């Protein structure tokens, strides 16, 4: 029961954060410079919290990989929302690591692994 409450809470907060980000971004409110990256990052961090909460009940390597992937995607979102010169490259690298973790997680669930998907 508690796990469902945490899951619904994470999903609800993630959806609220996405809607708030869309509202702030559409209104082009410039004085909220730190709020935009935080709102953009929050859904991925909340999905990661949800994944790691599930790990507390029973360890599953796929869920652990997905939790890490969500963290890297969140870091990529945050870095791309920043305007520094190195942030774009670091954000893209973070997304690359997140996507590689996603691929690894889903390949670990496929019967036959990579051979079945590619062959």
Q: Alpha-carbon distance 102 to 92, whole Å? A: 15
Could you give the CA distance from residue 39 to residue 60 in angstroms, rounded to a whole number? 29
How far is residue 24's CA from residue 18's CA, in Å, rounded to a whole number?
10
What pLDDT was estimated at residue 115? 47
pLDDT at 95: 94
Mean pLDDT, the chain, whole residue set: 79
Across the range 6-18, mean pLDDT stands at 74
Q: What's the CA gap between 40 and 88, in Å, rounded?
A: 15
Cβ neighbourhood burial of 118 (10 Å; 0-12, 13-18, 19+): exposed
Q: What tokens appear for 40 in the block?
A: 């953009």
State mean pLDDT over 65-74. 92
Structural domain range at position 73: 2-118
pLDDT at 83 over 90: no
Name the more confident of 43 and 112.
Answer: 43
Which one has a higher pLDDT value, 6 or 15? 15
Tokens found for residue 107: 């390949």
What is the number of domains present in the chain? 1
Closest CA to 81 of 12, 9, 21: 21
Calculate what percentage of the chain has a pLDDT beyond 70.
Answer: 81
pTM: 0.74
User: For residue range 40-64, what is the model confidence (pLDDT) as tens digits?
Assistant: 888 888 888 888 887 777 788 888 8
- Tokens 């869309």: give the residue: 22
Q: pLDDT tier at 117 (50, 70, 90 boundaries)?
A: very low
CA distance 24 to 117: 41
């Amino acid at each position: 029961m508690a796990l469902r409450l945490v899951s619904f809470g994470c999903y609800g907060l993630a959806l609220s954060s996405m809607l708030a980000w869309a509202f702030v971004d559409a209104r082009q409110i410039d004085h909220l410079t730190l709020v935009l990256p935080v709102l953009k990052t929050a859904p991925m961090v909340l999905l990661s919290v949800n994944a790691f909460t599930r790990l507390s009940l029973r360890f599953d390597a796929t869920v652990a990989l997905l939790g890490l992937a969500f963290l890297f995607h969140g870091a990529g979102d945050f870095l791309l929302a920043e305007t520094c010169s190195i942030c774009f490259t670091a954000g893209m690298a973070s997304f690359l690591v997140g996507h590689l973790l996603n691929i690894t997680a889903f390949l670990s669930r496929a019967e036959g692994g990579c051979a079945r998907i590619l062959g």
